[in-house]
């Protein structure tokens, strides 16, 4: 079976160098909330609607009701407004400065994020990796399904994370690129309905219809 490094190299061969989550650290946190259960195109509409107002001090000045119309395109806008306001308040405790976040350990920052409403493990890890360059490998449904179809029998996310990070560089850049590539593959080939013809993992994948 493939090592984590071999999986990554095949992803790069198939899809090229992965992108990075666009925006400032604060914009990344906000869009990580907005993209839940919606398409990225809807997030882009909200970002365009806010424009230069997508700044923590401005968002902090709004009530939930004033924020909701700005993010309506992303769906679940009442709940997401609360979550955005909560993460903004959390960031305000650091004077909106990423440098102050970095003064704490990854574990402590992760626990703080997980304590906020609407932020689960996947979103917390995405914020850590993409917004603050603190390497915390992001695991999502695409990755779990992909590993299962390749034949790996991991029981927990801790096991999956240990495998995926075992033979790669332990850096936010590497973790971010790797995670970005996995959903790219999931959307292109390994969704709920697999599109196996021409897949770069076709010779090793154990998935059968």
Q: What would the pLDDT profile of 105-116 be if each residue is shown by its tens digit?
A: 999 999 999 999
Mean pLDDT value of segment 95-101: 95
pLDDT in tens, 137-195: 999 999 999 999 999 999 999 999 999 999 999 999 999 999 999 999 999 999 999 99
List, for residues 2-28, the tens digit of each pLDDT value: 999 999 999 999 999 998 999 999 999
Domain with CATH 1.10.340.30 in the chain: 25-131
d(CA 48, CA 166): 39
Least confident of 16-20, 43-47, 130-134, 154-158: 16-20
Give yes or no for residue 207 having a pLDDT over 90. no
Q: What is the pTM of this model?
A: 0.94
Tell me the average pLDDT across 81-95.
98
Provide the angle, in degrees to the nearest 10, between the axes of the packed helices 4-15 and 172-188: 60
pLDDT-based confidence at 206, cuts 50/70/90?
A: confident
Instruction: Give me the DSSP letters along the chain.
Output: ---HHHHHHHHHHHH-S-----S-HHHHHHHHHHTTTS-HHHHHHHHHHHGGG-SHHHHHHS-HHHHGGGGGGGS-HHHHHHHHHHHHHHHHTTTT-HHHHHTS-HHHHHHHHHTSTT--HHHHHHIIIIIT--------HHHHHHHHHHT----SHHHHHHHHTTTS--SHHHHHHHHHHHHHHHHHTBSSSB--TT-TTTTT-----
pLDDT score at 209: 56
Here the tokens at position 75 are: 């769906």
How far apart (Å, rounded) are the C-alpha atoms in residues 9 and 108?
Answer: 32
C-alpha–C-alpha distance, residues 184 and 128, integer Å: 20
Mean pLDDT of the chain: 95
**CATH number, domain 25-131:** 1.10.340.30
Give the pLDDT confidence score for residue 128 in this predicted structure: 98
Q: What percent of the chain has pLDDT over 90?
A: 93
């Amino acid at each position: 079976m493939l090592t984590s490094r071999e999986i990554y190299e095949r992803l790069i061969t198939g899809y090229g160098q992965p992108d990075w989550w666009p925006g400032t650290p604060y914009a990344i946190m906000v869009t990580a909330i907005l993209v839940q259960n919606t398409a990225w195109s809807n997030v882009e509409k909200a970002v365009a609607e806010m424009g230069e107002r997508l700044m923590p001090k401005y968002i902090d000045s709004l009530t939930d009701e004033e924020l909701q119309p700005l993010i309506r395109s992303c769906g679940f806008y009442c709940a997401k407004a609360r979550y955005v306001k909560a993460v903004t308040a959390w960031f305000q405790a650091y004077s909106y400065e990423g440098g102050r976040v970095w003064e704490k350990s990854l574990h402590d920052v992760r626990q703080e994020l997980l304590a906020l409403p609407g932020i689960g493990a996947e979103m917390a890890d995405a914020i850590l990796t993409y917004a603050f360059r603190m390497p915390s490998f992001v695991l999502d449904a695409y990755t779990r399904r992909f590993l299962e179809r390749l034949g790996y029998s991991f029981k927990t996310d801790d096991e999956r994370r240990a495998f995926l990070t075992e033979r790669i560089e332990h850096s936010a850049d590497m973790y971010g690129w790797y995670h970005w590539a996995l959903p790219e593959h999931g959307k292109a080939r390994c969704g709920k309905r697999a599109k196996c013809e021409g897949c770069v993992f076709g010779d090793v994948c154990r998935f059968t219809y």
